[in-house]
Amino acid sequence: MPDKLSANMLYNYVKCPHRLTLDLFGDYSKQDPISSFVKLLWEKGTDFEKQVIKNLEIPFLDLYSYSKIEKEKRTKEAIDNGVELIYSGRIGAGNLIGEPDLLRRSGDGYISGDIKSGSGLEGENDLSEGKPKLHYTVQLALYTDILERL
């Protein structure tokens, strides 16, 4: 069992608790291969994120290409130095770990954000703006918890 709880684990648990159990304790040799459709969705999401970042008209620190350990080290340094906007950082505190798409400086701290190619809301209609999707909300909540502990 992993020694850290990640935002991705929470996302998977909310979507399907059985999946997380299989991810942690299952036999990988019995897993179905990842379908080409799922791979396409991942590619489209990555492409969308890269396009959003490319179109930013404000300066930011890009940590996308670093390994997990180096990314976490550089993110901590950036936060300590008050960098205004961090892309693809990695934050951790205690047994919690996460990789928010964005960390934006706000007052004395930081606010996390994720870039989504689809709607982050559900139940949108003419009468309601909808509410955040639970599987995205738990990820952002974990990032917030980590940021409050730093």
Pairing verdict, β 91-93 and 121-122: unpaired
Spatial neighbors of 119 by CB under 8 A, at least 6 apart, are: 130, 133
Q: What is the mean pLDDT of the chain?
A: 92
- Among 40-44, 93-97, 118-122, the minimum mean pLDDT is found in 118-122
CA-to-CA separations, 72 to 48, 78, 105, in angstroms, rounded: 24, 10, 17
Residue 6: strand pairing partners: 97
> What per-residue confidence (pLDDT) applies to 91?
98
Average pLDDT over residues 93-108: 96
Q: DSSP class of residue 65?
A: T
Q: How confident is the model at residue 6 (pLDDT cuts 50, 70, 90)?
A: very high
CA distance 147 to 125: 33
CA distance 135 to 127: 23
> What per-residue confidence (pLDDT) applies to 133?
84
